[in-house]
Amino acid sequence: MAQQNVKLALIDLSGTLHVDDQPTEGAVDALKRLRQHGVKVKFVTNTTKESVGSLFARLRKIGFELEREEIYGSLAAAAEYVRKNKLNPYYLLTDDARTDMPPDDPTRPKDSVVVGLAPERFCYEHLNEAFRVLRQKSDNSNVQLVAIHEGRYYKAKDGIALGPGCFVKGLEYSTGVSAVCIGKPNEYFFRSALPDGVAVEDCVMIGDDPIDDCQGAMRVGMKGYLVETGKYQPEMYTEENRPAVSGIFATFGDVVQHIIANGQ
């Protein structure tokens, strides 16, 4: 029996365990096997399109066994950031995601912009409003552009789809304000996802994004395992330029198999 090293697996959701309302192949059973093997799990997600409550309900509905408290999202981390810094932001978020954030303060002008994945908000009218909030305060060092994450693209039901990153970069370009990035691959995000007493070397990160999931986690000392489901596009890689990660596996189930067989 291999020595048990891994104590905690940080697991990405979209593209790794599911794509929209479809679990990835074998993921529901593989998650059960990982738990039975004694590995604790935490679901770390940059998903900003829906609130934690909606995400939790959806994952349960498609067959995953999990507790709401096991989901650690960049949306919650961003809400904490807004509270701590006493910001009164203009939000480029979906209505659902907005419910996870602090309420507006109508007595104060907007002093910041918070951007998540919000397809219905990414039109000229709303982006221009965000631009004006950032520009009108450009003489004020307190103005903040908060990117919940800067994802380039993600996997949707009908193919790959544009992430919020290019809208964040566009606002940076036009306003000269540099964004504060909250979610993966930010080091702070990975460290704050760990419960007390768990060391980074006892953790692995499993995800479908080589940069935001795997390399982000590897920078803080975890192993980063890439799955070839979700946004993975084999045609983007050759044998020579495959992503520099700790391991590449066809599915989440294959990573679980590897952890059970090798302990890490």
Q: Which residues bind Mg ion (CB under 5 A)?
A: 12, 14-15, 208
State how far the Cα of 133 lies from the Cα of 109, in Å rounded to an integer.
Answer: 9
Q: How far is the CB of 15 from Mg ion (least distance, A)?
A: 4
Closer CB to Mg ion, residue 89 or residue 216?
216
Closer CB to Mg ion, residue 14 or residue 94?
14
The Cβ of residue 23 has, within 10 Å, a number of other Cβ atoms equal to 19
Supply angle C-alpha 30, 231, 172, rounded to 5.
130
Q: How far is the CB of 6 from Mg ion (least distance, A)?
A: 20
Q: How far is the CB of 231 from Mg ion (least distance, A)?
A: 6
Closer CB to Mg ion, residue 98 or residue 184?
184
Q: How far is the CB of 185 from Mg ion (least distance, A)?
A: 12
Q: How far is the CB of 184 from Mg ion (least distance, A)?
A: 9
Instruction: Name the amino acid, one letter, at 223.
Output: K
Quote helix, strand, coil % in the chain, to nearest 5.
Answer: 40, 20, 40
Residue nearest to Mg ion (CB): 15
Contacts 24+ apart (CB under 8 A), 122-129: 122/92, 122/164, 122/167, 126/92, 127/92, 127/167, 127/170, 127/171, 129/90
Q: Classify residue 106 by its DSSP letter.
A: T
Closer CB to Mg ion, residue 143 or residue 218?
218
Closer CB to Mg ion, residue 12 or residue 100?
12
